[in-house]
Amino acid sequence: MNQIPDIGTMVSKSDSSKGCLQTLVRSRPSPYYQDDRCTIYHGDCLEILDSIAPKIDIIITDPPYPDYYQKEYEYWDGCTDFLKKIPCRQIIFWTAKQEFPMCYDARHVWDKITGAANQYDFIYERNGNKRQMVFRGHRINSTVSAQFAGEYFYGHKSQKPIRLMRELVSKFSKPSDTIFDPFMGSGTTLLAAKELGRKAIGIERSERWCKISKMRIAQCELF
């Protein structure tokens, strides 16, 4: 049986007794899927974080937006607040139409390569560098747009292009890093991480997307 990637603990030194750590291990939920690089958990990231207490190197994620299918993707004010308590570098997608709810070091631009509305969104960098950059990658929210990108549309209306995610993983992480995506969706972050030889942990509330992510990651081959 493969081992869960070493996600350590975020408890303070005063709480890191043997008994406390044993309690965390006992309460850790079972992975929905696991291989030597990626681990998927099915559930609420707020609940699972308290159980697995991950020690991660970088967060790359695309949370629900306040102006895009709020009910379908279960957006609510404060859904990203827990990220404020995690001190690692964070790369977070966010709509260009709404104010980002956290402090940040850099605001990168994602050029969606489209002549239609919503030509760009932002990618915010927290606990990182201040240099701002532009990333380009086709928006994928339909079968037609996926064809322009040379990809397959899995049905997730906020599916990110794999080429863009590979670029973000390559630029912002090291091969030894463990990447964490608490809003996993269709699994593109984990897929890019595995392709590039990183370890990754994803959490997703919808079993539909866990199932699709599992399929994509299980079929993945390293670059």
Residue 21 within any structural domain of the chain:
no
Token representation of residue 182 = 């608490």
Residue 12 within any structural domain of the chain:
no
Q: Structural domain of residue 74, as residue ranges?
A: 27-218
Question: pTM value?
Answer: 0.83
Per residue in 61-113, pLDDT (tens digit) is 999 988 776 676 677 788 899 999 999 999 999 999 999 999 999 999 999 88
Based on the structure, what is the number of domains in the chain? 1
Residue 160 within any structural domain of the chain:
yes
Distance CA 142, CA 153 (A): 6
Residue 56 within any structural domain of the chain:
yes
Residue 3 within any structural domain of the chain:
no
Q: How far is CA 174 from CA 58, 168, 198, 213, in A?
A: 10, 11, 8, 23
Classify each residue of 177-205 as buried b or exposed e, where b means 16 or more C-beta atoms within 10 Å of its C-beta: bbbbbbbbbbbbbbbbbbbbebbbbbbbb
Residue 77 within any structural domain of the chain:
yes
Q: Report CA Rg, the chain.
A: 17
- For 99-208, strand residue ranges (E) read 106-111, 120-126, 134-136, 178-181, 199-204
Token representation of residue 157 = 């209306």
Residue 122 within any structural domain of the chain:
yes
CATH code at 32?
3.40.50.150
Per-residue pLDDT, 115: 63
Residue 16 within any structural domain of the chain:
no
Per-residue pLDDT, 27: 57
Per residue in 121-168, pLDDT (tens digit) is 999 999 999 999 999 998 888 898 888 888 899 888 889 999 999 999
